Structure 1
Amino acid sequence: MTTKPFPPELLRVVDANLNRLKEGIRVIEDIERYVHNDKDLAASLKSLRHQCRIEPLEPLLSSRDSINDVLRPTTTSEMNRTDLRSILIANYKRGQESSRVLEELYKIVEPVLSERFKQIRYELYTLEKRNLLSDLNG
């Protein structure tokens, strides 16, 4: 299957969501690795994070305009973290939402990538449940 060129006006959306997805996973991964010493969960998250890539990177970098992002200033709700659990929850949601955006956008140009981001989203749902319910039960 030949992929269609990605609409240039959407590259910035892809770049932002790809970064958001990888950053969210990395926050969770580091908490599980360094705070909870959970090798299995950290390894699962690391593997998932490594699946979050789009080649070539140059068009995404060219589209980036973080200085002029209209929502760049931190909102009050982003500062509403009370403990590590609230950070984990926020970052699972960040990853799930970003993978959904990528899944939807890639439906129009490269369905294989759309499916990859869908699988990443579902894996984040599974890891979130395992992680957050084990915190309550253990």
Structure 2
Amino acid sequence: MIKKLIFAVGFLMVIMVSGQKKDDTQAVTAAAERLRLAMISGEKSALENLILPELTYGHSGGHIDDATEFVEKLVSKKSDFLTIDITNQNIQIVGKTAIVRHHFYATTADLGKAPGDVTLDIVLVWAKVKKDWKLLARQAVKAEKKK
């Protein structure tokens, strides 16, 4: 009887953890989409609501923005994304941390310059704060060119 009870409790715990990961994956997917849209709009409050104050935002050229610089560049249009397309997104949940990798293709018009194209591979690190997922880190690398 005790063995059956232990098995039943263990089985329920596995189901609950599995269901939680699915919910978290959906929530991280939604947060990543809100980030994509906020980066295009440059809306300050939307950007600030998605990030942690400790944000480290690495560019493919090596520069690293803190949270304030990240938001300021998008709000001022110093970094101006006209479009952002995300493909090949993969999400891995580890406790209260999510690692998101994706391919990033964007059209830019930084400070009103003629449109340019950016193709990158990105890794994002999201942290679960209460019930929300907040961006803690981002690193971009230039995407490998297909031969």
TM-score under structure 2 length normalisation: 0.26
Structure with bigger gyration radius: 2
Give the number of the structure whose residues are more often strand, by fraction: 2
More helix by share: 1
Greater relative CO (CA pairs within 8 A, separation 6+):
1
Relative to the length of structure 1, the TM-score reads 0.27
